[in-house]
Amino acid sequence: EPEVTQTPSHQVTQMGQEVILRCVPISNHLYFYWYRQILGQKVEFLVSFYNNEISEKSEIFDDQFSVERPDGSNFTLKIRSTKLEDSAMYFCASSAWTSLGNEQFFGPGTRLTVL
Amino acid sequence: KQEVTQIPAALSVPEGENLVLNCSFTDSAIYNLQWFRQDPGKGLTSLLLIQSSQREQTSGRLNASLDKSSGRSTLYIAASQPGDSATYLCAVSYGNKLVFGAGTILRVKS
């Protein structure tokens, strides 16, 4: 069964460093998303992406964040200058709008630890 | 503000029991609603999607209902098993984004 994959599974970085989180969405999906979950808190929406542009973003998704689809298969989230409060599990998701709805499928997540 | 609340926060039941998890949302202008399962330290597994025009959706031992006008959904799990132990998340779709509840932690005792 097709699935969303994410790399790395765990990333440790120093405060102020740039990180890039990578995702490979399900191949026939056209809508891509990033969410994050700080330990013990709710899953929070960051950004949605369609047709090579951001379709919606949350207040969390400030100028430190960017997303890109550099080729036909990868979808990346870049954090330019990481802060301690960026430590969280980051989930990528993808979906295909159909007559059955817009079911989002999630990857296993990347645990980001900022020291 | 779009908020999703799940009750109870935690539930412990003996194996074989039927159970109901509750979800409520403040903004009824939804596209659809998804129920997910999350195992500790793992990703989210989609269990059911129920469209805003539907009243209910079934998959195996799971049944989800939706009352959009009152802002409520329930997830019914029949004949619970120890393998059902996990956190169950309700997520409401407002177009491009899902808004999540905090989840119900379910423990099924053998």
Q: pLDDT tens digit string along B31-86?
A: 999 999 999 888 999 999 999 999 999 999 999 999 999 999 999 999 999 999 99
Interface test with A, best of B37, B44, B59, B99 (most A CBs within 10 A): B44
Pairing of strands A10-13, A110-114: parallel
Q: Are A45 and B46 inside 8 Å of each other by CB? A: no
Task: Report the distance separating Cα A66 and Cα A59, nearest Å.
Answer: 13
pLDDT beneath 70: ranges in chain A: none
Q: Could you tell me how far CA A60 lies from the centroid of its own chain?
A: 13
Instruction: Give the model's pLDDT for residue B96.
Output: 86
Instruction: Give the model's pLDDT for residue B100.
Output: 98
Residue of A nearest to B102 (CA): A42
**What mean pLDDT is reported for chain A?**
95
Q: Which residues of B touch A10 (CB under 8 A)?
A: none
Q: Is-contact A104 A93, C-beta < 8 A? A: yes
Query: Which two structure tokens, joined as six digits, stand for B46?
Result: 């989609």
